[in-house]
Amino acid sequence: MITFLILCWSVFAEMAPWLLLGFVAAGLIGITVSKQVVARNLTGTGFLPLIKATLFGVPLPLCSCSVIPTGIGFHKHGAHTGPTVSFLTATPQTGIDSLFVTASAFGWPFTLLKVATAIISGLIGGALAGADNKATDDENTPTETTSNRWNTFCYLSLKDLPGAIAIPFTIGVLINALLGFYVDAGSLGAITGNGPLVYAAVLLFSIPLYVCSTASIPLAMALMDQGLEAGVVLVFLLAGPATNFATMLIIGKTLGIRALSAYLGTIITVSVLAGYFLGSMIAPQASHIQHHNHESLFPHIAGIILLLIFIPSYSAACIRFLSRFKKSKQISTNTPRQHYALSGLSCHNCVNKARTTLQKAGITIIAIDAESLEITGPQDHAVITALFTSIGFSAELTTQD
């Protein structure tokens, strides 16, 4: 148990500096980038907003954790879902910090293919995320007319984004630690070849685990030294930095299942195709790079700061859970219930907006998420439908007990 807790903290602390960097970047975006600029560049239909989001993200030195608050910050600031997914997909796969390190380790053909794959996956992922493009507009965000820029920055960086990320991120860290506890990276050394089973094994290993683009390179070289082919290593270098359980949970919660499916499906498909292409066409230039020792106090200090920022979110989650548990005991199993299918709710802010609207109308909610609603009845379903229509969503009665 102690070993597992130490591993949990190790994973949490390793991610913490990058997540804090993302919070700062999102806060700066909130006070420096106007909604008009976002609307002009990252909204609308067609490929141009996707291209802008992808090309903007590719050179940024952000990993799959720090890119999340930055991308969600764009979304809260008015960016449509498609460009947001393009940014989230392309950015963590590469960056200016890892470009030259990758080239020194594997050669420029390998590196340029990696960059091209990141761009292609960003465009495809954004296109598949859909045209619902209902950007989140948090009505509680301080504006320049009611608060100064510093208050706005603190709200976004210390309350709004951490509140959206804390719980799914923590769950992802626990899953990450469990996998790290039971899965040994060296076990992949016995896998050789360039077939589907090899790619599947590498994807199963790399997708759930956290590793940033630069830090993944020494591990990738170790895997190649153990016998994995260049195409398989490329899949690891693309899928590993781009995904982890925490990131996937956050995207699913804030942008919806469709965006998560587009994000994950694109990364898997495009990285495997690039791996096949590399394995059959290009022989990488193998060399050795220096493995750096990252043991320092800084990640632990960052982890403590992040934990302090997350404490209000943990407290609020506990209060909600206890309140829901108490309410479920008060509601008799014989109480009439109504079930509704919901549409148009793309993130947790949409769900919170719907929950607040229903509670103000005196409706007792049993359960609500982005796709369904269960309330105590009997209620006039026309009233429920009208309430959702008034806030830009829709609800359809499915069953009534």
Instruction: Say whether 367 sits in a helix, a strand or coil.
Output: strand
Position 289 scores a pLDDT of 39
How many C-beta atoms lie closer than 10 Å to residue 356's C-beta? 12
Q: Which residues contact 46 (CB under 8 A, 6 or more apart)?
A: none
Position 355 scores a pLDDT of 86
- CA dist 185 to 190, 201, 204, 205, 291, Å? 11, 11, 12, 8, 16
Q: Does this model's pTM top 0.75?
A: no
Domain range list for the chain: 2-310, 334-400
How many C-beta atoms lie closer than 10 Å to residue 142's C-beta? 20
Position 190 scores a pLDDT of 55
Position 228 scores a pLDDT of 74
Segment 224-243, tens digit of pLDDT = 766 678 888 889 888 888 88
Residues 136, 74: Cα–Cα separation, whole Å: 9
C-alpha gyration radius of the chain: 22
Location of structure tokens 């769950």? 171
Position 287 scores a pLDDT of 41
- 374 CB burial (10 A radius; 0-12, 13-18, 19+): middle
The fold adopted by the segment(s) 334-400 is: Alpha-Beta Plaits (3.30.70)
Note the Cα 289 to chain centre separation in Å: 30
Q: Which residues contact 229 (CB under 8 A, 6 or more apart)?
A: 192, 193, 194, 198, 279
Position 319 scores a pLDDT of 83
Position 301 scores a pLDDT of 92
Residue of 92, 76, 79, 85 whose CA lies nearest to 130:
85
Segment 310-367, tens digit of pLDDT = 898 888 888 877 876 766 666 555 678 888 999 877 666 678 788 888 988 888 888 8
Asked if 156 and 30 touch (Cβ cutoff 8 Å), the reply is yes
Which residues of the chain have a pLDDT value below 50?
133, 135-141, 143, 145-146, 283-294
Q: Which residues contact 54 (CB under 8 A, 6 or more apart)?
A: 86, 87, 89, 90, 119, 122, 123, 126
Structure-block tokens of residue 298: 């800084």
Residues 231, 246: Cα–Cα separation, whole Å: 26
Q: Which residues contact 279 (CB under 8 A, 6 or more apart)?
A: 194, 229, 230, 231, 232
Note the Cα 141 to chain centre separation in Å: 21
How many C-beta atoms lie closer than 10 Å to residue 48's C-beta? 12
Residues 362, 263: Cα–Cα separation, whole Å: 38
At residue 318, what is the residue type?
C
